[in-house]
């Protein structure tokens, strides 16, 4: 991962929330929050920590599914993303806090579950991030996270990346490198074990990615993710051309109307002994 891969600033949080969240994250958010709710059960006094909450897709699902008095702390490294999440709001109060997953500002054994949706790919040191989750979990508590499968099994990302290749001598590969760069199941299990946790349960979950049009999907990827900065670093004047190329490639593949495409990810669950 390059340092710029974690840059969610400027107009990115707004486009991420309005276009990318419904396109990619909402279906997996419902799945992950449902698993967390099953882990917590009827324990109304449970505490749940969300790491890398982004603009709050999972947070909103947790607020709807967890017992009413179960407390939720949602954190992210990027204040602009949390500000967007807080502005949209949740069904009940949530504590929003800026925090680095590598150095969580919470006491040992203070949460019943730690949840992270599509954030572990951005961790600069994944075993360390998992070890921090283990540290703040109570005995018997669970870490739940997901990570995208390889780019070839995620149709929209694959089409967008291929569409940008003819535009640049050194094409942007943010999507393949980071969001879709952590899909080796043996490596994931090894990183979890290195953090002092037992072997994880890993499940492949295939869902559908839907967008109103190729334009919406192209803007979501090219302007609502750090791919925008990678394009600008090569040629700041080519952002519109890159978005148009992605739109045309998506239209050729899926048609000019609503898009329905395959997306695939892994869901990882592991208990602290």
The pLDDT value given to residue 41: 86
Strand arrangement of the beta sheet that strand 95-98 belongs to: 95-98, 71-76, 47-50, 111-117, 137-148, 259-271, 201-211
Which string of DSSP letters, residue by residue, matches 17-34?
Answer: IIIIIIIIIHHHHHHHHH
The count of C-alpha atoms lying within 13 angstroms of the C-alpha of 174, restricted to the half-sphere facing its C-beta, is: 24
Lowest mean pLDDT among 114-128, 181-195, 196-210, 221-235: 221-235
Is 87:94 a contact under the CB 8 Å cutoff? Answer: no
The pLDDT value given to residue 197: 98
Measuring CA to CA, which residue among 178, 152, 257 is closest to residue 215? 257
pLDDT tens by residue, 131-141: 999 999 999 99
* Separation between Cα atoms, residue 155 and residue 216, nearest integer Å: 15
What domain range includes position 241?
3-271
Strands 95-98 and 71-76, how do they pair? parallel
Q: How confident is the model at residue 4 (pLDDT cuts 50, 70, 90)?
A: low
Q: What percent of the chain has pLDDT over 90?
A: 91
Q: Which CATH number goes with the domain that contains 59?
A: 3.40.50.150
Q: How many domains does the chain have?
A: 1
pLDDT tens by residue, 147-196: 999 999 999 999 999 999 999 999 999 999 999 999 999 999 999 999 99
Q: Does the global pTM surpass 0.85?
A: yes
The pLDDT value given to residue 30: 97
The size of the chain, in residues, is: 273
């Amino acid at each position: 991962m390059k340092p710029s891969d974690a840059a969610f600033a400027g107009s990115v949080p707004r486009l991420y929330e309005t276009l990318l969240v419904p396109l990619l994250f909402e279906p997996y958010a419902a799945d992950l929050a449902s698993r967390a709710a099953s882990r917590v059960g009827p324990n109304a006094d449970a505490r749940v920590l969300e790491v890398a909450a982004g603009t709050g897709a999972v947070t909103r699902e947790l607020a709807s599914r967890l017992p009413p008095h179960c407390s939720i702390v949602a954190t992210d490294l990027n204040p602009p993303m949390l500000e967007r999440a807080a502005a949209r709001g949740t069904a009940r109060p949530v504590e929003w806090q800026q925090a680095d997953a590598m150095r969580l500002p919470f006491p040992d054994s203070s949460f019943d579950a730690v949840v992270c949706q599509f954030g572990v790919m951005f961790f600069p040191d994944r075993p360390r991030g998992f070890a921090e989750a283990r540290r703040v979990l109570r005995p018997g508590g669970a870490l739940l996270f997901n990570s995208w499968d390889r780019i070839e099994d995620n149709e929209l990302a694959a089409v967008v990346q291929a569409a940008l290749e003819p535009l640049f001598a050194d094409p942007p590969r943010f999507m393949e490198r980071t969001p879709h760069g952590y899909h080796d199941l043996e490596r994931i299990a090894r990183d979890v074990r290195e953090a002092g946790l037992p072997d994880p349960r890993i499940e492949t979950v295939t869902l559908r990615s839907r967008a109103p049009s190729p334009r919406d999907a192209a803007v979501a990827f090219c302007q609502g993710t750090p791919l925008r900065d990678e394009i600008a670093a090569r040629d700041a004047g080519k952002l519109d051309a890159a978005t148009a190329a992605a739109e045309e490639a998506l239209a050729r593949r899926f048609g000019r109307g609503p898009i329905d495409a395959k997306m695939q990810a892994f869901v990882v669950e592991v208990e602290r002994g």
